[in-house]
């Protein structure tokens, strides 16, 4: 195993939320000031060379990393919320779940045509939500050249699926399995 202080802070909880799942708990990163700072530093470094003028974070833990990163970089932040959580007029995108579908939304004035947005979240697994977020932002006339995640579960293929949509995908830590 690679000796990485950030990786070492991520706790694995077996059989959550159901048997066979190895849940990667990032709250242990958040409670450690140095670890949280390291995660933001590495996310910022992953954005080096990418011309972005705004950060978008996916509900809910993407808000934590995305807002901190936006503040660090002096950029605005766009929350990508679950359906019916925003008070104003919204635009949204439906996406498939294992059993059914869900919807994410942004305010209809949250982004401007031509904005270049970095998509941020804590974890990418199958990629469904991140792909929907990318498509939603693009439907509003933006570009999404890059996406950054704290954790990737490469066995589930989400980073590859998102990359096929166009964004360069970076993750700070990868864990085998799911």
| Residues labelled catalytic | 61, 98
Phi, psi (deg, nearest 5) at residue 165: -80, -10
- Of 112, 123, 106, 114, the C-alpha closest to 169 is 123
What would the 3-class secondary structure string for 4-55 be? CHHHHHCEEEECCCCCCCEEEECHHHHCCHHHHHHHHHHHHHHHCCCCCCEE
Structure tokens at 12: 């694995």
- Of 104, 49, 96, 45, the C-alpha closest to 78 is 104
């Amino acid at each position: 195993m690679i000796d990485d202080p950030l990786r070492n802070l991520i706790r694995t909880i077996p059989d959550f939320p159901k048997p066979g799942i190895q849940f990667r708990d990032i709250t242990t990163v958040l409670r450690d000031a140095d670890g949280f700072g390291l995660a933001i530093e590495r996310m910022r470094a992953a954005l080096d060379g990418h011309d972005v003028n705004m950060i978008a974070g996916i509900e809910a833990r993407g808000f934590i990393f995305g807002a901190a990163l936006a503040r660090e970089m002096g950029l605005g932040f766009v929350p990508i919320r679950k359906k019916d959580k925003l008070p104003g007029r919204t635009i949204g995108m439906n996406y498939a779940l294992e059993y059914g579908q869900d919807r994410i939304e942004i305010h209809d004035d949250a982004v401007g045509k031509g904005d270049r947005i970095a998509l941020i979240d804590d974890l990418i697994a199958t990629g469904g939500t991140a792909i929907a977020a990318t498509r939603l932002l693009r439907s509003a006339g933006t570009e999404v050249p890059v996406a950054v995640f704290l954790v990737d579960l490469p066995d589930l293929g989400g980073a590859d699926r998102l990359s096929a949509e166009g964004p360069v995908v970076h993750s700070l830590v990868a864990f085998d399995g799911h």
